[in-house]
Amino acid sequence: MSNFKTHIYSGIFSYPLFMLIYYLIGRNIDSSFILGMNAVSLAFVFYVIGSDLPDLDSNTALIKRSMQFILMIFFTLFFYNIINDSSIHNKIYDFVSVDYLVVFISFTFSLILGFLVSKGLDLLNHRGFFHTFWAAAIYAFFTFSILNLNIFNSFNFDLNEFETTFITVSSFTGYSLHLVIDHFSSSFKENKFL
Ligand SMILES: [Zn+2]
């Protein structure tokens, strides 16, 4: 287990190189491949967050507890936006026929889902699930889902498909970088002390 600083710095400083490699591959596949400033900036944020996200379990109790609440709020808003973007919203309206009741029901339902997911993540966390490539894939999936929410598009980031894919792959790579560094730092320590 490496510490917070190692992971964050490795994330920050390896990002330009990752972007360059991605650009080279992208250009080879499609000559019109281009990444705008918004995509480069957003991918950086998701990449660097990913590079320390697996260590939520090894941080101090205070950070862990506040993270749990932040995740709960985040997932509540995530589900609330999904409900609003989907046909579930209309189905609730068909059922109650009052607009503010639709808001009340969909928000409360999102809150319960957000609570359950944050509790579920906490359970998985104790079993070391965060230090697996499955978790990296889930993080990438969440990034992709966020980029496709209507509320995200209202910020006018104006991303094309190349860019959405790039940000999603950046999340996965940043997260995976953490796992690779943990792997090598633990085998390095083993060699040193045996
Ligand atoms: Zn770790």
CA distance 154 to 162: 19
pLDDT tier, 69 (very low <50, low <70, confident <90, very high otherwise): confident
Listed by start position, the domains of the chain span 1-51, 60-130
CA of 131 to the centre of ligand 1 (A): 6
The vertex-175 CA angle with 165 and 124, nearest 5°, equals 115
CA distance 194 to 176: 27
The structure's pTM equals 0.83
What per-residue confidence (pLDDT) applies to 169?
Answer: 98
Q: Please check the confidence at residue 194 and state whether its pLDDT lies above 50.
A: no
CA of 93 to the centre of ligand 1 (A): 45
CA of 60 to the centre of ligand 1 (A): 14
CB under 8 Å, gap of 24 or more: what pairs does 143-152 form?
143/46, 143/167, 143/168, 143/171, 144/168, 145/78, 145/82, 146/78, 149/78, 149/81, 149/82, 149/85, 150/81, 150/84, 150/85, 151/81
CA distance 133 to 127: 14
Give residue-wise pLDDT tens across range 143-160.
Answer: 999 998 888 888 888 899
CA of 66 to the centre of ligand 1 (A): 19
Q: Helices (DSSP H) in 30-160: which residue ranges?
A: 37-50, 61-85, 88-96, 99-126, 133-147, 150-153
Longest dimension (CA), the chain: 70
What per-residue confidence (pLDDT) applies to 2?
Answer: 64
Neighbours of ion ligand 1 (CB under 5 A): 54-55, 182
Q: Please check the confidence at residue 181 and state whether its pLDDT lies above 60.
A: yes
19-46: average pLDDT: 95
Distance from the Cα of residue 172 to its chain's centroid: 9
Q: At what angle do helices 99-126 and 88-96 cross, to 10 degrees?
A: 130
Summary count for the chain: helices (H), strands (E):
8, 0
